[in-house]
Structures are given as structure tokens and as C-alpha cells.
Amino acid sequence: MFALRASVLAAFALAAAACEDHLHSRDTAHAHTHEHVHKREYPQVPLTPPYRPLVWSDFNVIHTTDTHGWLLGHQKASFPEPDYSGDLGDFASFVTHMKQIALEKDVDLLLVDSGDLHDGTGLSDGYPAGSVDGHETNTFLERLPYDLMTVGNHELYEYADAYDTYINLAPHLNGRYLASNVNITILNEDGEAVSLPMGNRSVKFTTRKGRNIMSLGVIYDFTGNSANTTVQFASDMVKEQWFADAIADEPDLFLLVGHMPVSYDHWPDVFDAIRVVHPLTPILIFGGHTHIRDCRQYDGRSMALESGRYMETIGADLDAAKDNSDNITFTRRYLDQNRVTYEYHTQQSNATFDTEAGQNITQGLLDLAIAYDLDYLYGTAPQDYSLSGAPYPSNDSILTLFIAEAAPVALAINNSRASIPNIMITNSGSQRFDLFKGPFTKNDQLTSSPFLDQFLYIPNLNFSIANQVLPALNQAGADERRRKRDAFEREMRRSDDIRAVYNEWLREMNERAGMEKRAESAGNLTLGYVTQDYCPGAGDDTMHIAIPYYDTPDFIGSNAPNVSDDTPIDLVFVDFIEDQLLGILNGLQSAQTYTESDVLPYSDILSNEILGLYAQAEWN
Ligand SMILES: *[C@@H]1O[C@H](CO)[C@@H](O)[C@H](O)[C@H]1NC(C)=O
Ligand SMILES: *[C@@H]1O[C@H](CO)[C@@H](O)[C@H](O)[C@H]1NC(C)=O
Ligand SMILES: *[C@@H]1O[C@H](CO)[C@@H](O)[C@H](O)[C@H]1NC(C)=O
Ligand SMILES: *[C@@H]1O[C@H](CO)[C@@H](O)[C@H](O)[C@H]1NC(C)=O
Ligand SMILES: *[C@@H]1O[C@H](CO)[C@@H](O)[C@H](O)[C@H]1NC(C)=O
Ligand SMILES: *[C@@H]1O[C@H](CO)[C@@H](O)[C@H](O)[C@H]1NC(C)=O
Ligand SMILES: *[C@@H]1O[C@H](CO)[C@@H](O)[C@H](O)[C@H]1NC(C)=O
Ligand SMILES: *[C@@H]1O[C@H](CO)[C@@H](O)[C@H](O)[C@H]1NC(C)=O
Ligand SMILES: *[C@@H]1O[C@H](CO)[C@@H](O)[C@H](O)[C@H]1NC(C)=O
Ligand SMILES: *[C@@H]1O[C@H](CO)[C@@H](O)[C@H](O)[C@H]1NC(C)=O
Ligand SMILES: *[C@@H]1O[C@H](CO)[C@@H](O)[C@H](O)[C@H]1NC(C)=O
Ligand SMILES: [Zn+2]
Ligand SMILES: [Zn+2]
């Protein structure tokens, strides 16, 4: 008989900041590489502290997922950014204090991660030619005492990333980098190609308190992976002999990590396969991928948690008697990732909180930002531009800024077609993150607008026809989107499907808040997540009012030129939407059937350069 209580913690989101006094020009940037840099400024705005202490139990887990390179935290001043203003060094100090508390309470505390370590900020993605995305940021994650890590889809788009993860990160976990359904093909000593699990398929280990744990690391049914990596669907994985062998003995607890959403996905396949053999053994699941805070209980003796994005932590609490059939009481908490949260829960002051290892991590990340020239300044943004917190079109929308303001300016540079009237179209998924008032740097560009789309055009379209293309694209709606997803592997990487789930989450939150409640509480609360999930009790660690949310169309366009209906104009669009756009255009008119041979390159400037060029032209 053994009693078990578990608690996990949560929410973590980080952003690379321009350290204001270190903004420098391209000319001087490289000279700074080894210079000492002061710790980034702490948020200059007061943060709301958590409203109640964590519930400690016998078995506790801290979870991170979908950190995507945000290891310097969110350093912009507009809410909700300051809520997530801790950095990986702060998190490391927090973990150290929490481990000490666990020792004093004589309970278990584990640290786990569910994958997607890069593709998000310049720290991971601003690497120089010859390096690999996430290679340097992974070396900082390796300094934390993770008990389990697992592979995310972003580790699998490029073979080089997968191989780097396999060869460098995985060994640091000493058998605890789990890849139950992901293989990588490598050349063995004899030069033969062999397919091997990308990490360990399963692991059994014993905690400090003597609990026997059995763990797996499972990714969702991902199909966009690179050649020479293999993803097996979870429903097939559970039929494998190794799986049966791995789960045969009953542990005290199954601790499953995986890059798979806890709602509407395939965790139940894995869960059910275990339940067939072990009807009552506690099962704790830590998922990811859709970037939301979510929690499910597949039965009364299990809990599945998802900890948001950009390093949102999680907290679960479980109270179990192994040899009975009672439901287990779990608690979970989603922590805002900042020093106020960390100091509150570890009962440290600003002066006592930092550990040397934590400060070293912060310093190392700041040095990396300098080595990558991430503070390179394009211009100073006059205001915030939001992805979903402002209506489209509007002057506060980054979508409007990008396509109606910046693209027409940037694409006119060195362009012989510049004097010909045009309409420019892209997809709203082409922008990834808000753009904030103040310095707009290389890091901000990599964060907000990372995709490498080429601009194409069809010349001499009647304005009246060209002007119908954008609304027709948007009308094509959900069916079109689904078709597009099947047709374009790249679509997966852009995570438009993830964005749909994440946006739906924000939309619900916004609706629940309602304008009245928002006005009422505005005096005391700051903007942030207001989570309602499927587990008992309140999950959020800090109270907020919901972030405003506005739906945006799938496609966005520049302002139509003021010309007559039969004026020939250029229809400019990104290569990413070419197939769809041609289909729509051919549905709108029958004078000509347009094909790829009617499409010409419009500019050498790629979509990820647009905002920087615009900032250089207009924000200086
Ligand atoms: C993990 O996998 C490696 C490579 O297959 C193997 O050598 C190692 O023993 C495994 N570790 C554990 C703990 O199972
Ligand atoms: C993964 O690698 C193992 C070990 O080489 C092999 O037995 C298995 O068939 C591979 N699985 C897939 C799906 O390629
Ligand atoms: C996959 O690996 C094999 C063996 O190393 C190699 O010959 C092949 O070119 C690789 N395929 C791709 C698409 O990289
Ligand atoms: C135990 O949990 C299950 C699933 O969450 C629930 O349906 C059931 O009512 C619970 N039983 C008790 C006695 O609380
Ligand atoms: C917290 O401590 C740091 C140094 O560790 C200092 O730079 C900062 O100003 C302090 N912040 C507050 C709010 O006291
Ligand atoms: C921190 O960095 C310094 C200088 O690089 C090093 O001497 C020290 O051992 C590091 N301390 C920790 C705890 O990592
Ligand atoms: C948006 O900005 C333009 C140009 O600065 C201005 O003319 C227009 O009135 C603004 N629109 C709104 C709705 O504020
Ligand atoms: C435009 O052309 C000039 C002269 O060739 C060149 O220096 C500049 O880099 C070009 N600008 C862009 C954005 O390509
Ligand atoms: C803010 O909180 C105080 C204390 O709880 C309360 O008295 C006051 O009504 C609140 N103000 C608003 C605007 O909600
Ligand atoms: C559009 O052009 C016409 C003719 O040149 C002009 O009279 C009209 O004011 C313009 N409209 C706008 C909104 O600029
Ligand atoms: C463009 O407009 C002209 C004049 O109205 C018409 O003759 C021509 O067929 C149109 N072209 C297309 C491709 O619709
Ligand atoms: Zn992710
Ligand atoms: Zn993912």
C-alpha cells in the first residue's frame, strides 16, 4: 500500500529582449561578443502575484512544453508579455529552490518536457550558416535537471535538426530522452543505413523516494517529418511486442510524456492499452503541441496535462492508494513564468532568489543573443501591432501592417513594376507573433515574421477581377483550408492547425470574460490567460482578465488601388498560396485559364525581410 499525491506546476513563456542599452549598429555588433552584459532589466511594471500557494504532495512534477526557443523570456512592456518575463536562468533557479523544498518535505519532484524546442525566436533560429537550429539553445536546456524529455514535430522537419537532437541532446538525458514512436535513419559503423529509435523507447526508473516509474514518450500522428525519420502512429505502436514487454510489470506509476494534445488526439490509444493490463495503476500524462493550457482525466485514477506554449509550466497533484480502486485526487496549476511567481512559491526575495547556475544561464543566453546579433536594430515601432488582439483590418493589426503598409513599401524597392498598380495577398498564417512598440530588431523580425515566402505575380489582370480574388479566397473557407493542408507539407510547420486550436481557446476565454466583467475588474487585474479546462478546481496560478481576441480571415490583402475596373494591374501573392489562388482566379473569370506558366517572380525580397525593410524606411 502506498499513498501518492502529485502536484505539477506551470506556465512559462519567454522572449528575447533587446537590452536597451546594448542596441547597436551592424558595424559594431560583432565586437561585443565577449563583453560582459548586465542581466536584462526586470519588468518595469508591477506583476500580479499568484493568489494561493502550490499544493505539495508526495509526488510532484514540473512540466514545460513547446518552449520554441523563448529562453530569454518575454521582455516587452505590453501585457500579457510581462506575465512571461522570466528567463531560463530564472526557471533554473526556481527549479533548484523547488528541489530543496521537496527535500525538506521529503517528497518526489520531477522535471519533464514535451518537445518543440526551437522555431520561435532568434535565439534558436538566428543561427549562423553551418550551424543547426536549436543546437545552442539546447545546450542551455541540458543544464537543467530534466528527468524526461521527448521529441516534438519541430525536431523532425529537417533531418539536420533531428540528427543534432539524436546525437547531442538525447545522450545528455542518459536514457531518458524518449522517442517511443520516432525512428531516425543513420549510417552505422559499416556505412549501412539503419533505422533506430531517436531516443529511448521506454524507461523504468526509481525516484528518490523509491517509487517505480515506467515512462514512454509518444508523438501525435505526425506526417510532415523529413526523409530518414519515421513516425509510427500511436495506434500501431501499442501493438508492438516491445510495448507489451515494456508495460508488462506493474510500476507504482506510469509517467507518460509526449508531444500530443491531451484533448481530441490519440492519448486514449496509449492509455487504453495500458489500462487493459493495469486497470488501477495511476497514470500521469504530460502532453503538448496545441500551445494551450488543458487538462483531462481519462478516468478517476489518471490525469493528462498540457502546459501551453513558450515554456508554460504545469502542476499536478495526485493522491492515490495503489491497492484500492478509489479515485485519485490530482491538483494541477498553470504558472505564469516570471520572477514574481517563482519568488512567491519558493518564498525567496529578489535578493535571495538567483542561483549562480541560473545567473550563468541568463548570462550565456545574453551572450548568445549578441553572438547572433539579435539586437540589430531596423527601426523603432511607434505602437503595438497585434496578431489576434486587434480587429483585421485595423491600424493595430500586424496583419494590416504587414500586407497593407509594409509589403507595398518593401516590395517597391528596386522593383521595375513598382509604378504599376497592384493588389498584394498573403495568408494570415504568414505572421507568427505580435510586434511591440519600441525597438524592432533582428530578433523581433525572426519572432513575428519568420517564413521564407517568395512573392510572385500575374501581370495585366483587370482590376475588377483581381479585386475579387481576396474575398473569394476567404469565402472558400474551411474546405479550402483542409485541402491546402493536405497539399502543402509546409502548412504543418506553420502550425495553422495549431493556431486554430490556440485561437479557439483565446476566443472562448474572451467571450467568457465579456466586456462588462473586463471593465469591472480592469482596475485590479492585468491581461493574461483565464483558463477553463476539464479538471476539477481552478488551474491558473495567477488571476487575469482575458486577452482580447478577434477572428481574422485566412487571407489578407493590401488596399485596392483607386483605378477603373478595366485597368490592368499586377496581382502579387506569395508562392505558398499559388495553387489556391490560381484555382480561385480561374473560377472568377473565363477569358483565360491561368496556370503556373502565367506566374512570374515579383521581387527577390522574401516575406521574412518585409518588416525589417519597412522599419528601416519608415521607423527611423
Ligand atoms: C537507451 O538507448 C540506448 C541506445 O539504444 C541504449 O544504449 C541504452 O542502454 C538505453 N538506456 C536505457 C536506460 O534503457
Ligand atoms: C525503428 O527501429 C527499430 C530498431 O532498429 C526497428 O526494429 C523498427 O522497425 C523501426 N521502426 C520503424 C517504424 O521504422
Ligand atoms: C536517407 O539516408 C540514406 C542513407 O544515408 C541516403 O542515401 C539518402 O540520400 C537519404 N535521403 C534523403 C532524402 O536525405
Ligand atoms: C471517479 O472518476 C470518474 C471519472 O473522472 C467519475 O466518472 C466518477 O464519478 C468518480 N467516482 C467517484 C466516486 O467520485
Ligand atoms: C532584483 O535584483 C536584481 C539583481 O539581482 C536587481 O538588478 C533588480 O533591480 C532587483 N529588482 C527589484 C525590483 O528590486
Ligand atoms: C558560473 O560561471 C562561472 C564562470 O564561467 C563558472 O566559474 C562557475 O563554475 C559557474 N557556476 C555554475 C554554478 O555553473
Ligand atoms: C489608420 O491610420 C491611418 C493613417 O495613419 C489614418 O488615416 C486612419 O484614420 C487610421 N484608421 C483608424 C481606424 O484609426
Ligand atoms: C537595391 O539595389 C541597391 C543597388 O543595387 C542595393 O544596394 C540594395 O541592397 C538593393 N536593396 C534591396 C532591398 O535589395
Ligand atoms: C480591486 O480590489 C479591491 C480589493 O479587493 C476591491 O475593493 C476593489 O473593488 C477592486 N476594484 C476593482 C475595480 O475591481
Ligand atoms: C479616386 O480617383 C478619382 C479619379 O482620379 C478621384 O476623383 C477620387 O477622389 C479618388 N478617390 C480616392 C478615395 O482617392
Ligand atoms: C478585361 O476588361 C476588358 C474590358 O472590359 C475585357 O474586354 C476583357 O475581356 C477583360 N479581360 C479579362 C481577362 O477579364
Ligand atoms: Zn509547438
Ligand atoms: Zn508541435
Residue nearest ligand 6's atom 12 by CA:
357
Q: Is 298 in the pocket of ligand 4 (CB under 6 A)?
A: no
Grid-cell match 495568408, residue found? 427
Residue 430 covered by a domain: yes
Phi and psi of 424, rounded to 5°? -110, 135
Say what the pLDDT of residue 186 is.
Answer: 97
State whether the beta carbon of 196 lies less than 6 angstroms from ligand 2. yes
Q: Whose C-alpha lies nearest to ligand 8, atom 4?
A: 414
Same domain for 430 and 301? no
Provide the pairing of β-strand 568-574 with 454-462: antiparallel
- Does residue 425 form part of some domain? yes
Establish if 21 belongs to a structural domain.
Answer: no
Q: Which among 335, 370, 405 is the end of a domain?
A: 370
Question: Ligand 9 center to residue 543 CA distance, Å?
Answer: 13
CB 263 near ligand 3, within 6 Å: no
Average pLDDT, the chain: 88
Distance 395 CA to ligand 7 centre (A): 6
Q: Which ligand 6 atom is at minimum distance from the Cα of 356?
A: 13
Q: How far is the CA of 441 from the centre of ligand 6 (A)?
A: 30
Ligand 11 pocket mutation pick from 460, 461, 563, 566 by most atoms within 8 angstroms of CB: 566
Which atom of ligand 8 lies at the shortest distance from residue 604's CA?
A: 14
Question: Given the C-alpha cell 485514477, which residue does it identify?
Answer: 301
Residues 384, 309: one domain?
Answer: no
Boundary of a domain, candidates 546, 579, 605 = 546
Report whether residue 357 contacts ligand 6, using a CB cutoff of 6 Å.
yes
Give the number of other CB atoms < 10 A from CB of residue 377. Answer: 21
Name the domain count of the chain. Answer: 3
**Do 386 and 515 fall within a single domain?**
no
Residue 233 sits in a domain of what CATH number?
Answer: 3.60.21.10
| 364 and 410 fall within a common domain | no
Judged by its nearest atom, the ligand closest to the C-alpha of residue 390 is 7
Residue 503 lies in a domain: yes
Question: Which pLDDT value is given to residue 513?
Answer: 82
User: Do the domain assignments include residue 32?
Assistant: no
Is the omega angle on the peptide bond into residue 601 within 30 degrees of 0, that is, cis? no
Full strand arrangement of the beta sheet holding 108-113: 3-4, 316-321, 329-332, 6-9, 59-64, 108-113
CATH number at residue 441: 3.90.780.10
* Ligand 1 pocket, residues with Cβ under 6 angstroms: 175, 200, 203
Residues 397 and 366 both lie in one domain: no
Q: Whose CA is nearest to atom 1 of ligand 9?
A: 524
Q: Is residue 215 one of the residues assigned to a domain?
A: yes
pLDDT digits (tens, 9 = 90+) for 425-463: 999 999 999 999 999 999 999 999 999 999 999 999 999
Take atom 14 of ligand 11 and give the residue whose Cα is closest: 591
Same domain, residue pair 72 and 214: yes
| Contact indicator for 302, 282 with CB cutoff of 8 Å | yes
- Same domain for 245 and 114, yes or no, is yes
**Residues 238, 310: one domain?**
yes
The cell for 567 is 485597368
**Gap from CA of 525 to ligand 9 centroid (Å):** 9
Cell numbers describing residue 610: 518585409
Q: Does residue 416 have its Cβ closer than 6 Å to ligand 8?
A: no
**pLDDT for residue 498:** 82
The DSSP letter of residue 312 is -
Return the ligand number nearest the Cα of 280: 4
From the alpha carbon of 297, which atom of ligand 4 is closest?
Answer: 5
Q: Which ligand is nearest to the CA of 518?
A: 9
Q: Is any ligand 9 atom within 6 A of the Cβ of residue 130?
A: no
Q: Is the CB of 414 under 6 A from ligand 8?
A: yes
Q: Give the closest residue to 253 by CA, choosing from 278, 233, 230.
A: 278
Residue 162 is assigned to a structural domain of this protein: yes
- Cα 408 to Cα 414: distance, rounded to the nearest angstrom: 12
Which atom in ligand 5 lies closest to the alpha carbon of residue 41? 7
515 shares its domain with 533: yes
Q: How remote is the CA of residue 195 from the centroid of ligand 2, in Å?
A: 6
Q: Is the dihedral of CA 419, 423, 426, 431 positive or negative?
A: positive
Show the domain range for 505: 498-546
Compute the distance between CA of residue 406 and CA of residue 96 in angstroms, rounded to an integer. Answer: 45
Is residue 434 assigned to a domain? yes
Nearest-CA residue for atom 3 of ligand 2: 196
Ligand 5 pocket (Cβ < 6 Å) reads: 42, 350, 354
What is the pLDDT at residue 310?
61
What is the pLDDT at residue 484?
A: 52
Q: Determine the length of the chain.
A: 620
Q: Quick check: CB of 300 below 6 Å from ligand 4?
A: yes
Q: Which of 462, 463, 590 is the pocket-test mutation for ligand 11 (most atoms within 8 Å of CB)?
A: 462
Query: Ligand 11 pocket, 591 CB below 6 A?
Result: yes
Query: 543 CB under 6 A from ligand 9?
Result: no
If you measure from the C-alpha of residue 560 to the centroid of ligand 10, how many angstroms do you get, rounded to a whole number?
12
Count of H helices and E strands in the chain?
20, 26
Query: Which is the closest atom of ligand 4 to the Cα of 300?
Result: 2
Residues 214 and 262 in one domain: yes
Pocket test for ligand 1, best of 200, 204, 215 (most atoms within 8 A of CB): 200
Task: Provide the 8-state DSSP code for 152.
Answer: -
* Ligand 2 atom closest to the CA of 231, numbered from 1: 13
Q: Domain boundary residue among 370, 395, 421? A: 370
State the pLDDT at residue 127: 96
Of 499, 22, 123, which Cα lies nearest the Cα of 289? 499
DSSP summary character for residue 304 = E
User: Averaged in consecutive runs of 10 residues, what is the pLDDT profile of the chain (620 residues)?
Assistant: 35 26 28 42 81 90 95 93 94 96 95 96 95 97 98 96 98 97 97 97 97 97 95 98 98 96 94 97 95 94 89 49 71 93 95 97 97 97 97 98 98 97 95 96 96 96 97 77 48 58 90 70 82 92 93 95 97 95 96 97 98 98
Q: How far is the CA of 524 from the centre of ligand 9 (A)?
A: 6
Q: Quick: pLDDT tens for 222-270.
A: 999 999 999 999 999 999 999 999 999 999 999 999 999 999 899 999 9
Task: Kindly state the cell numbers that stand for 513.
Answer: 470574460
Is 408 found in the same domain as 363? no
- Ligand 8 centre and the CA of 415: distance in Å? 10
Query: For every residue of 357-413, which 3-state class applies, written as one string?
Result: HHHHHHHHHHHHHHHCCCCCEEEEECCCEECCCCCCCCCCEHHHHHHHHHHHHHCCC
78/434 Cα distance (integer angstroms): 10
What residues flank ion ligand 12 with Cβ within 5 A? Answer: 66, 116
356 with 472, same domain: the answer is: no
